[in-house]
């Protein structure tokens, strides 16, 4: 089973600042990695798939990068609406696995 | 817009059974794989099960293997999760999620979830 480790656990930043979230896999997942955003009381929403492709309707301030074992989700200029928990997920091998999440707080 | 609506959640005693349903609409259901993902209260996401578009292949998380069964009825645009031998640690919100293809292993649309509580 592929383990995904996300860091930091919590990120606190001001509106307009850049946020960088990390996801590390226990073995290579090539680029079979996705990122999801979950706000309180809501279902998750797909942001990025295959490491760097934005899902439909996702603002350009969200971008993904990486391959192999190290991945990054960047929010170029934080907005108040970006307050949420962000999860990475691999689809290289079954069982599918998620990282533990990074909570983004807007100051 | 894709719609996924879960139903069937509730309170059940340990060792009991429950069947969740997921009603899909606004897309060609038979062309896509379907997943169930759960989230225990205050915890992260855990993938539970997947069934391929044609219903002939399924995969399960180790934690539910042998107890849960995923199925689908393409004539009714429905996906199901039969949960047997339930344990307190199965308590969670269960989400139905659509795969972007027949079986890519990602989730492009999600339902709002159905709460399952396993308690005596």
pLDDT of residue B17: 98
Q: What three-state secondary structure class fits A82?
A: helix
Task: Name the residue among B110, B43, B41, B39 with its Cα closest to residue B79.
Answer: B110
Residue A101 near chain B (CB below 8 Å): yes
Give the separation between CA B20 and CA A27, rounded to whole angstroms: 34
Nearest to A55 among B50, B60, B108 (CB): B108
pLDDT of residue B91: 98
Give the separation between CA A103 and CA B119, rounded to whole angstroms: 29
pLDDT of residue B68: 98
What tens digit of pLDDT does each residue of A71-90 get?
A: 999 999 999 999 999 999 99
Give the separation between CA B48 and CA B21, rounded to whole angstroms: 14
Residue A86 CA, distance from chain mean position = 5
Task: Name the residue among A106, A107, A100 with its Cα closest to residue A86.
Answer: A100
B107 with A46: Cβ contact below 8 A: yes
Q: What percent of chain B has pLDDT over 70?
A: 100
Give the separation between CA B92 and CA B101, rounded to whole angstroms: 26
Give the separation between CA B70 and CA B57, rounded to whole angstroms: 10
Task: Name the residue among B62, B107, B101, B78 with its Cα closest to residue B6.
Answer: B78
A44 with B107: Cβ contact below 8 A: yes
**Best to test chain A binding among B27, B45, B58 (most A CBs inside 10 Å):** B45
Could you tell me the pLDDT band of residue A13, with boundaries at 50, 70 and 90? very high
Answer yes or no: is pLDDT of B108 > 90: yes
A46 with B106: Cβ contact below 8 A: yes
Answer yes or no: is pLDDT of A63 > 90: yes
Average pLDDT, chain A: 97
Say if CB A11 and CB A73 are below 8 A apart: no
Q: What three-state secondary structure class fits A62?
A: strand
Q: In degrees, to the nearest 5, what angle opens at C-alpha A66 toward C-alphas A60 and A70?
A: 130
Question: What residues in B contact A55, CB-CB < 8 Å?
Answer: 108
Nearest to A95 among B44, B59, B100 (CB): B59
**Best to test chain B binding among A5, A32, A42, A43 (most B CBs inside 10 Å):** A43
Residue B94 near chain A (CB below 8 Å): no
Could you tell me the pLDDT band of residue B19, with boundaries at 50, 70 and 90? very high
Answer yes or no: is pLDDT of B103 > 90: no
Give the separation between CA B77 and CA B21, rounded to whole angstroms: 10
Give contacts of A 2-31 with B, CB under 8 A.
none
Across the range B26-55, mean pLDDT stands at: 96
pLDDT of residue B104: 84
pLDDT of residue A19: 98
Across the range B113-120, mean pLDDT stands at: 97
Which residue did the predictor score with more confidence, B102 or B83? B83
pLDDT of residue B67: 98
């Amino acid at each position: 089973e592929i383990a995904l480790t996300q860091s930091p656990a919590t990120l606190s930043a001001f509106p307009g600042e850049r946020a960088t979230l990390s996801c590390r896999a226990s073995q290579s997942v090539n680029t079979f990695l996705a990122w999801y955003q979950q706000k309180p009381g809501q279902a998750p929403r797909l942001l990025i798939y295959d490491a760097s492709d934005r899902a439909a309707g996702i603002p350009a301030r969200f971008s993904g990068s990486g391959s192999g074992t190290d991945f990054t989700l960047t929010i170029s200029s934080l907005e108040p609406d970006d307050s949420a928990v962000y999860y990475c997920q691999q689809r290289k091998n079954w069982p599918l696995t998620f990282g533990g999440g990074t909570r983004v707080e807007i100051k | 817009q894709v719609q996924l609506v879960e139903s069937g959640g509730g309170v059940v005693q340990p060792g009991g059974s429950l069947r969740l349903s997921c009603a899909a609409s606004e897309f060609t259901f038979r062309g896509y794989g379907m997943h169930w993902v759960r989230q225990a209260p205050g915890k992260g996401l855990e993938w539970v099960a997947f069934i391929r578009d044609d219903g002939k292949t399924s995969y399960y998380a180790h934690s539910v293997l042998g107890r849960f069964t995923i199925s689908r009825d393409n004539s009714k645009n429905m996906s199901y999760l039969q949960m047997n031998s339930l344990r307190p640690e199965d308590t969670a919100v269960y989400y139905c999620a659509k795969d972007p293809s027949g079986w890519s292993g990602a989730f492009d649309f999600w339902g709002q979830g159905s709460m399952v509580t396993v308690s005596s």
